């Protein structure tokens, strides 16, 4: 079930990211506007705001978790259909509204899936469950982005989004047949408890602010660079099919390999050394785009850059997710995990918003150099890592 839910969670993510960027580029929308469309991802950053409501209240059908999950998934299907009916070249505002609806219901789905996974799996099953979920998530992203871009060379982007809405509907059906997790005995009994207690517990830790700052900064450079890669590839002269095949399909397997390698290395060298090593590799891989810009539209060089970038990103993500899980109190998993993942999404939304402007002002080389150097502060915060253990809560 973790694999299926991961697929449902990953499918909509890039439909308001790289696929929408390609659609807008095709429609002649300028780079600055495309960059600011990263703000459509704000619900991923703010999902901790309404996560307590999903902990506290239960719908009158399917149970506490599955009820909310199925409603979120059906609303997500309708939002994708609505987005498919927009025209980016005519009204960027209407596209932005539709994209916000997609990200809101997608973020709501993520909240419930994270809580469901934690509540249905025992402690010794969490690692396997997280691995299956992440792999399913990446398959969903692959089909939406790689498959979507390839299809866009054959049919219209509107048709692509309608096909993805149909696929999302199919992905929601297993929710009807899944088992409902047993409600925790100490789950929030009042809205006040659901909202306040998870934050009180977390911020009573003496390293709470440092932990949040690390989560905010660790992948910021990698995220900023990723936000503008599709316009970058198109500007270099790569076709949408080349991008879909090399960047998305080939890159997908590189990311999967990176996650598996990262998981093995974390067991061997520990979380602290893994976060350091993988963080450095992430920064170096971002500099690879400077090399690609110098060479030009070479498919072998693109494949090499993508292999390095996705391997390091997969390794970094494995260490990062493991770190966030270790910082979550099981009594308040849904809300605290939503808080941490929301903060993780800040670079993708707020910090990535002006990346189109940065690329125009700095040029591609200057932009990717900035993305490489901006990873340094997050790595330096790791010097306080040993104070973050659960024993210090």
Asked if 313 contacts 90 with a C-beta cutoff of 8 angstroms, the reply is no
| Lowest mean pLDDT segment, chosen from 100-104, 121-125, 139-143, 194-198 | 121-125
- Asked if the model's pLDDT at residue 213 lies above 70, the reply is yes
Indicate the SS3 state at residue 345: coil
The whole-number pLDDT of residue 131 equals 63
The whole-number pLDDT of residue 390 equals 46
- Asked if the model's pLDDT at residue 347 lies above 80, the reply is no
| Lowest mean pLDDT segment, chosen from 54-58, 93-97, 130-134, 145-149 | 130-134
In whole angstroms, give the CA distance from residue 102 to residue 68. Answer: 16
In whole angstroms, give the CA distance from residue 269 to residue 281. Answer: 16
Please give the mean pLDDT across all residues of the chain: 82
Distance of CA 335 to the CA centre of its chain: 17
For the segment 335-361, the average pLDDT, to the nearest whole number, is 76
Name the token pair of 322. 């493991």
Name the token pair of 345. 């999404």
The whole-number pLDDT of residue 392 equals 44
DSSP string, 126-192: HHHHHHHHHHHHHHHHHIIIIIHHHHHTTS-HHHHHHHHHHHHHHHHTHHHHSPPPPPPTTS-SSHH
- Asked if the model's pLDDT at residue 119 lies above 80, the reply is no
DSSP string, 284-326: HHHHHHHHHHHH-S-HHHHHHHHHHHHHHHHHHHHHHHHHHHH
In whole angstroms, give the CA distance from residue 211 to residue 332. Answer: 17
In whole angstroms, give the CA distance from residue 343 to residue 302. Answer: 31
pLDDT tens figures, 214-259: 888 888 888 888 888 888 888 888 887 888 788 767 887 888 788 7
Name the token pair of 293. 């810009």
Question: Which CATH code, of 1.20.1250.20, 3.30.1490.100, 3.90.1640.10, 1.10.3720.10, is assigned to 2-392?
Answer: 1.20.1250.20
The rounded percent of the chain whose pLDDT value lies above 70 is: 91
| Distances 143 to 1, 147, 166, 228, 276 between C-alpha atoms, Å | 19, 5, 13, 20, 31
- Asked if the model's pLDDT at residue 166 lies above 90, the reply is yes
Tell which wins on pLDDT, 385 or 4: 4
The whole-number pLDDT of residue 370 equals 93
* Res. 102 pLDDT band, cuts 50 70 90: very high
Choose among 212, 322, 341, 309: nearest CA to 269.
322
């Amino acid at each position: 079930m973790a694999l299926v839910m991961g697929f449902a969670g990953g499918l909509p993510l890039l439909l308001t990211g790289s696929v929408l960027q390609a659609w807008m580029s095709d429609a002649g929308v300028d780079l600055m506007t495309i960059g600011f469309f990263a703000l459509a991802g704000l619900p991923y950053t703010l999902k901790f705001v309404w996560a307590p409501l999903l902990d506290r209240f239960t719908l009158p059908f399917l149970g506490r978790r599955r009820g909310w999950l199925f409603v979120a998934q059906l609303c997500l299907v309708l939002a994708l259909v609505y987005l498919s009916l927009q025209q980016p070249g005519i009204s960027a505002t209407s596209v932005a509204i539709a994209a916000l609806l997609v990200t809101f219901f997608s973020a709501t789905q993520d909240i419930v899936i994270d809580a469901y996974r934690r509540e249905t799996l025992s402690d010794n099953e969490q690692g396997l469950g997280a691995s299956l979920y992440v792999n399913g998530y990446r398959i969903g992203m692959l089909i939406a982005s790689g498959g979507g871009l390839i299809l866009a060379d054959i049919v219209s982007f509107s048709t692509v989004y309608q096909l993805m809405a149909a696929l999302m509907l199919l992905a929601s059906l297993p929710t009807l047949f899944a088992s409902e997790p047993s409600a925790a005995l100490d789950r929030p009994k009042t809205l006040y408890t659901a909202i306040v207690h998870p934050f009180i517990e977390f911020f009573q830790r003496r390293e709470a602010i440092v932990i949040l700052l690390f989560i905010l900064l660790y992948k910021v450079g990698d995220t900023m660079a990723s936000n503008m890669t599709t316009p970058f590839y198109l500007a270099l002269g790569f076709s949408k099919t080349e991008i879909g095949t090399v960047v998305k399909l080939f890159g997908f397997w590189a990311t999967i390999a990176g996650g598996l390698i990262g998981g093995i290395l974390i067991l061997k060298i520990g979380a602290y050394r893994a976060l350091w090593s993988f963080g450095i590799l992430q920064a170096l891989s971002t500099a690879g785009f400077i090399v690609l810009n110098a060479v030009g539209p070479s498919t072998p060089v693109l494949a090499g850059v993508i292999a390095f970038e996705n391997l390091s990103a997969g390794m970094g993500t494995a260490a990062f997710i493991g770190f966030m899980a270790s910082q979550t109190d099981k009594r308040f998993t849904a809300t605290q995990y939503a808080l941490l993942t929301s903060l993780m999404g800040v670079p993708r939304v707020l910090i990535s918003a002006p990346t189109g402007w940065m690329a125009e002002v700095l040029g591609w080389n200057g932009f990717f150099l900035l993305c490489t150097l901006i990873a340094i502060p997050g790595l330096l915060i790791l010097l306080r890592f040993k104070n973050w253990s659960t024993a210090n809560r």
